[in-house]
Amino acid sequence: MHALTNEQQSLKGEDFLTLLELDAYLIHALLNEAAALKKAPIESSLKGKTLAMIFEKSSTRTRVSFEAGMLQLGGHALFLSSSDLQLGRGETIADTAKVLSSYVDAIMIRTFEHEKAAELAAHATVPVINGLTDLYHPCQALADLLTIQELKGSFSGKKIAYVGDGNNVAHSLMIACVKMGMDFTLASPKGYEADESVIKEVKNISKQTGSKLEFTCSPQKAAAGADILYSDVWTSMGQEEESMKRLKDFEGFQVNAELMNFAKPDAHFLHCLPAHREEEVTAEVIDGPQSAVFQQAENRLHAQKALLKMILC
């Protein structure tokens, strides 16, 4: 997918794989559409349209939000686990892409290697949406932006601090924040930093937007003066064997009341969920008055509906 110019106000027929391909103008258009759909959720803009949803990783928010979103827009979604497809018996991604393209109007995939989503998009003749890969989670980042906009009113001058693993959520969040002109700091333990190729891309974007981009091993330094503190689980899906090691390595990276005190007094806490209370975040914070995690989770629905509408209409 090629970068879109300000004159292109539609994503119609385009893939959505990383957020790198979208400029701020189009992201604003998506957020405006999401806000409108949140106020008036039921319409028939996608009547007769079908979304195939391939799940190689299980999900709560991704599955339900896409399925409910298609229904609310008048369309239909098909849940396809890897065991439901011939992918599970060795059919190539290319063949699967070509077959599904003849049946449906778009494909959403939630998988492990990002290369799988990219290969699917390369061979499909319908738009492909990245519902999550090990490298990126752009649908989550759209919901995050919508939530930040609702909480803070604007993006200008805001600082977002992510504390934890430099994973797919961190990658897409930093891309989203820097594209919208926000400052972004990532605090992670040594050995758990963000991917260097993603950092290189984001640094190039920050030069254009003027956003401050910082990487540190100090959660306190990251949290200082932040408008938003963000965290994710320390052990993601597929990393279960590393759980005990990660618990030890991430000591000191918990978001708790003490760390929240380093942020601005009106700071909010965000988390992509599911959360492990008393690991990456305390119950006091995630269930407290500064938390907006369930508003954020709901916004997955509205942001993805806007995405679907702009891709398929």
Q: What are the catalytic residues? A: 110, 137, 140, 232, 272, 300
Residue 206 marked in a binding site: no
2: three-class secondary structure by DSSP: coil
Residue 81 marked in a binding site: no
Is it true that the peptide bond before 189 is cis, omega within 30 degrees of 0?
no
Residue 111 marked in a binding site: no
Residue 137 marked in a binding site: yes
Provide the strand spans (E) within 47-168.
50-55, 76-81, 106-110, 128-132, 159-163
Asked if 218 contacts 207 with a C-beta cutoff of 8 angstroms, the reply is: no
Asked if 127 contacts 146 with a C-beta cutoff of 8 angstroms, the reply is: no
Residue 273 marked in a binding site: yes
Residue 204 marked in a binding site: no
Tokens linked to 251:
């000591």
Residue 237 marked in a binding site: yes
Residue 236 marked in a binding site: yes
Strands 159-163 and 50-55: unpaired
Residue 59 marked in a binding site: yes
Residue 168 marked in a binding site: yes
Q: Which residues of 203-233 are buried (b: 16+ CB within 10 A; e: fewer)?
A: eebbeeeebebeeeeebeebbeebbbbbbbb
Residue ranges at the known binding site: 59-62, 86, 110, 137-140, 168, 232, 236-237, 272-273, 300
Residue ranges at the known binding site for L-ornithine: 168, 232, 236-237
Residue ranges at the known binding site for carbamoyl phosphate: 59-62, 86, 110, 137-140, 272-273, 300
